[in-house]
Structure 1
Amino acid sequence: MKRNKLSIFFLLVIGLYSCRNDDDGLLDAEVVPPRLLSEVAAEDETELNEYLSTHFYNYEDFENPSDDFDFNIVIDTIAGDNSSKRPLIDDVQSEIILVSSDNFSGLEEENDVPHKLYYLEVRPGEGESPTIGDNAIISYEGSYLDGNLFDSSIPPLSLYLSGTVRGFGQGITKFKSGGEIVDNGDGTVDFGTYGIGVIFMPSGLGYGNGRGPSGTIPAYSPLVFKVDSFSFVENTDFDGDGIPSILEDLNGDGDLNNDNTDEDTEPLGIYLANHNDSDDDADGIPTIDEIELDADGNFVGFKDTDGDGIYDHLDNDN
């Protein structure tokens, strides 16, 4: 089993790189006319199924690793000498995720369009899996279905999963991380046996009709991410309001970015979902002062002072 020593320096890197959800570079990008989300989702599903049925990964290397095996995933076409290989479609798992056109600019109104996320856990980690509200320490390689690489972060970095595109963040939650981080005393750390896997996502769970942070990803591109899941920060509190981010998923749909209690009071063009808002109800009282904390400042529970069934930090007339 591969164990990994990595420089402590890289653990201090926090960012949202290729897999983040933004529109950098769009000014120089070719404009692609908006299309129906449901139409593209059906096309992407067909394309992903074709890909998964005609490609395989080096599963035999993982089943019987040699002493010098690097535990890197290699995906290739089932053809010629590889014609008898087991296709990816036999190994992947999937999850249906509902997507709204609100997530993308310029699309016609469509809500709850089903998108299928595929993921392959090549090697389980010895630890637990992060939630969509956690910071995860990972490395990744992102490519198109034709195998061309568009970005990678081989040195590990810390990513807040709800700050990435939907398919990437949800995919990472399917992989177990490594064990307890051990400081080796020489500037490196050991993650133990960490998780290794692949995410296969339709464009609606990626950049949709956008072009990604670099402005180079073609619109409506299904994507593949190979991932090493090293560790994560349990109960990450992204906005520092005292509430673990995962508890700010009010509608329980696994998307923290569509829960915004005080949206009606926010200035035009400003949208701060609760997991990114230190005053969730815009009553002028910081959320951290409207919840229960222990003596060490850790979250204990919610308050409902006036007994109206609405927690204080979500109740602007409390």
Structure 2
Amino acid sequence: MMKLKNICLVVWLAAAAWSCGDDDEGPQAQVIPPRLLSEVAVDNDTEIVAFLKSHFYNYEEFQSPPADFDFRIRFDTISGDNSDKISIFDSSQLNAVEFGSETITVTSADVGVVSGDEVVNSKLYYLVVRQGVSESVPTIGDNSILRYEGSLLNGQVFDSQVSQPVKFNLSQVVRGFGNGMEYFKTGSAVIENGDGTFTYEDYGIGAIFMPSELAYFNTPTSNLIPIYAPLVFKIDAYSFEPNTDTDQDGIPSILEDLNMDGNLNNDNTDSADEVQATIVNYRDADDDNDGIPTIEEINLNADGTFLSFKDTDGDGISDHLDIDS
């Protein structure tokens, strides 16, 4: 099983095609360049919208749950006996169902295409069939506890964690997953079953539909996910840890999104250092690499929680980001 939290975005320029010539130069490699980000984004959105308009989810079971209903979301094609069903695209017509989209800016660098400088507006779609009861939703910086199932648009499952919930940080998975989770309120009571398992109540249920530029784009993952493939994740949003501080530097991870673009993985203030260039701020205990831990360059409350940033020299740069402070 491919674990969602262990997949990192890397650069891949495709497989080499080898052929033997008549000369003595040996095998020649032909490198296939990646497709244009803008081209893939348009194609993926067309595929996703077509799926949303031609499929429905089991909304009738959610509206009138049978005694043995497992409250799992399922998709089927609108055809034959199901030709009168309401599509996912139109599911906001159903009571208490939230369906919508978010436009997210994506650059060539974000998807690992170092040879391009494209910027596209990518669409992420979300479907909340049952909203949780929590007062707030997780952010991209928070640890989240959930169940999920990842599949292609054709229903082929490539990753599944449905027997018991798993916990991971929402910035350590594909970008569309973390951004999509911000629409799901989580549950309330957690019941320990006495056998090492837990049961959650009143949690959010739904799905996230993402284009490949918010997932793996042209990165090799497994033989189950083609390159440039849109993905679907079914979600049971159980719980989350508000204001998660991933690197324990005193700053909630969400506050380390310096450019406020909803992506913590492109914020790195000590990237000039060859070693530190691989450690982004929300995972770095010394954000400016000045030898002074970040937690000593900010103001904390009496209980050790974050209070405010310091700017000792008044230059407009917080001490923990300013190598001169």
The Cα shift of 1:182 comes to 4.5
Contact persistence 1:29–1:211 (CA under 8 A):
no
CA displacement, residues 109-153 of structure 1 (integer Å, 9 cap, x when unaligned): 234311100000010011131011000001101110111111101
Where in structure 2 are the equivalents of 1:277-288 lying within 5 Å? 277-288=284-295
- Aligned-partner SS, 1:133: coil
| Aligned Cα root-mean-square deviation (Å) | 2.3
Cα distance in 1 for residues equivalent to 2:168 and 2:15: 26
Where in structure 2 are the equivalents of 1:141-152 lying within 5 Å? 141-152=149-160
The Cα shift of 1:202 comes to 0.5
Give yes or no for the alignment of 1:245 onto 2:253.
yes
Cα distance in 1 for residues equivalent to 2:217 and 2:14: 17
Cα distance in 1 for residues equivalent to 2:257 and 2:319: 16
- Aligned-partner SS, 2:323: coil
Contact persistence 1:243–1:299 (CA under 8 A):
yes
Aligned residues, how many?
301
After superposition, the Cα gap between the structure-2 partners of 1:305 and 1:182, relative to the gap in structure 1 and judged at 3 Å, is farther
| Aligned residue among 130, 133, 148 for 1:126 | 133
Larger Rg: 2
The Cα shift of 1:191 comes to 2.5
In structure 2, what residue type is equivalent to 1:54?
Answer: S
Where in structure 2 are the equivalents of 1:114-263 lying within 5 Å? 114-127=121-134, 128-154=136-162, 155-183=164-192, 187-212=196-221, 214=222, 216-263=224-271
Cα distance in 1 for residues equivalent to 2:108 and 2:320: 29
CA displacement, residues 257-294 of structure 1 (integer Å, 9 cap, x when unaligned): 11111112x20794221111111111110101101122
Cα distance in 2 for residues equivalent to 1:197 and 1:157: 17
Cα distance in 2 for residues equivalent to 1:269 and 1:295: 31
The Cα shift of 1:164 comes to 0.7
Q: TM-score, normalised by structure 1?
A: 0.88
Contact persistence 1:36–1:108 (CA under 8 A):
no
Contact persistence 2:205–2:237 (CA under 8 A):
yes
Contact persistence 1:23–1:215 (CA under 8 A):
no
After superposition, the Cα gap between the structure-2 partners of 1:190 and 1:153, relative to the gap in structure 1 and judged at 3 Å, is closer
Which stretches in structure 2 are left out of the alignment for 5+ residues? 17-30, 92-98
Which stretches in structure 1 are left out of the alignment for 5+ residues? 1-15
In structure 2, what residue type is equivalent to 1:157?
Answer: V
Where in structure 2 are the equivalents of 1:279-318 lying within 5 Å? 279-318=286-325
After superposition, the Cα gap between the structure-2 partners of 1:184 and 1:144, relative to the gap in structure 1 and judged at 3 Å, is closer
Cα distance in 2 for residues equivalent to 1:237 and 1:17: 23
The Cα shift of 1:29 comes to 7.0
Contact persistence 1:290–1:312 (CA under 8 A):
yes
Cα distance in 1 for residues equivalent to 2:224 and 2:144: 25
The Cα shift of 1:253 comes to 1.2
Q: 299-308 vs 141-150, which deviates more?
A: 299-308
After superposition, the Cα gap between the structure-2 partners of 1:107 and 1:75, relative to the gap in structure 1 and judged at 3 Å, is farther
Contact persistence 2:14–2:34 (CA under 8 A):
no
Q: 104-113 vs 88-97, which deviates more?
A: 104-113
After superposition, the Cα gap between the structure-2 partners of 1:27 and 1:112, relative to the gap in structure 1 and judged at 3 Å, is closer
After superposition, the Cα gap between the structure-2 partners of 1:80 and 1:216, relative to the gap in structure 1 and judged at 3 Å, is closer
In structure 1, what residue type is equivalent to 2:212?
Answer: S
The Cα shift of 1:222 comes to 0.3
Where in structure 2 are the equivalents of 1:29-40 lying within 5 Å? 33-40=33-40
Identity of aligned residues (%): 55
After superposition, the Cα gap between the structure-2 partners of 1:175 and 1:61, relative to the gap in structure 1 and judged at 3 Å, is same
Q: What's the counterpart of residue 60 of structure 1? A: 60
Cα distance in 1 for residues equivalent to 2:36 and 2:276: 24
After superposition, the Cα gap between the structure-2 partners of 1:270 and 1:315, relative to the gap in structure 1 and judged at 3 Å, is closer
Ranked by relative contact order (alpha carbons within 8 Å, sequence separation 6 or more), the top structure is 1
Cα distance in 2 for residues equivalent to 1:268 and 1:216: 33
